[in-house]
Amino acid sequence: MRHLVLVRAVMADGGTPKVAVVGPADGGPVSVAVATLEAKSGSKVTGTARVTPSASGALVLVTVQDASPGEHGVHIHEKGDCSDPAAMSAGAHFNPNQGAHHGGPNTPVRHGGDLGNINVNATGGGLLVVTVSDLSVDNVVGRSVVVHEKQDDLHSDPAGNSGARIACGVMRGE
């Protein structure tokens, strides 16, 4: 098993977050899933999502640009399809825990795709870093990552009252 040596987030001049991921100490390949987030539902929001293995599940890093300031729900959805202009083609939240209800990343039994909220600064940049115990690179490849227009309340089914899907990207293995 490989381990990440360093994950660093830098907010340069209060602007867009920059993420640097340095691979294993032996210089070998890192198993990773990556998505490029594209604007949906008439928004201008773009960004990236990255999932890497961690000792306790998966480390998820999501960055956004050109989003409205505040909190926005972020979820992994069951289908790897962002073709619909409103990203409805991404389907429901990824839910490997059949019968589980919506929650936050610290809710004991919840949809596996419930990642919580990304905090966006006044210039439209945001960074979410979360470790999720029931995710892995293998079970997210081919699924989509969606950023929502509103804050996720981390409770209400099916999507935490987080509103329209404003960015979407399909996870690809690297």
The amino acid that residue 123 corresponds to is T
CA-CA-CA-CA dihedral for 62, 64, 67, 72, to nearest 10? 0
Which of these is catalytic: 50, 75, 110, 143? Answer: 75
Which of these is catalytic: 77, 102, 110, 143? Answer: 77
Do 171 and 50 meet the contact criterion of CB atoms below 8 Å apart? Answer: no
Which of these is catalytic: 50, 102, 111, 143? Answer: 111
102 belongs to the catalytic site: no
72 belongs to the catalytic site: no
114 belongs to the catalytic site: yes
101 belongs to the catalytic site: yes
Helix (H) or strand (E) holding 148: strand 144-148
Q: How far apart are the first and last CA of the chain?
A: 16
Which of these is catalytic: 2, 101, 134, 153? Answer: 101
Which of these is catalytic: 93, 102, 110, 143? Answer: 93
Q: How far is CA 22 from the centre of its chain?
A: 19
Under 8 Å CB-to-CB from 119, ≥6 apart: which residues? Answer: 70, 71, 126, 127, 128
Which of these is catalytic: 50, 110, 143, 148? Answer: 148
110 belongs to the catalytic site: no
148 belongs to the catalytic site: yes
Which of these is catalytic: 110, 114, 143, 152? Answer: 114
3 belongs to the catalytic site: no
- Which residues are tagged catalytic? 75, 77, 93, 101, 111, 114, 148, 165
